[in-house]
Amino acid sequence: MAVPKRRTTSTKRDKRRSHDGLKVSNVVDCPRCHEKKLAHHVCKSCGYYKNKEIIKLETEKK
């Protein structure tokens, strides 16, 4: 069975794990309804993207 001959240093270990960190998502305000949404995605609350209606959302009737 393979066994390391020398101890792996903390620097070497951390460089190997540099890509394992969490990424921050790019959250912006929707220009139409001012809700938080992901950049370059359709707004889930109003259904618009670049001032065009992409998804027709049903409004709740009270």
How many residues are there in the chain?
A: 62
Is 32 a member of any domain?
Answer: yes
pTM of the model: 0.57
DSSP β-ladder status, 27-29 and 52-53: unpaired
Contact in structure between 45 and 35 (CB atoms under 8 Å) = yes
One pLDDT digit (tens) per residue for the chain, 62 residues: 899 999 999 999 999 999 999 988 899 999 999 999 999 999 998 999 988 888 888 765 55
Residue 17 within a domain: no
Asked whether 46 and 33 are in contact (CB, 8 A), the reply is yes
Backbone angles phi, psi at 27, to 5 degrees: -105, 130
Q: Which of 38, 27, 35 is nearest to 46 (CA)?
A: 35
Domain that holds residue 37: 25-62
Tally of domains within the chain = 1
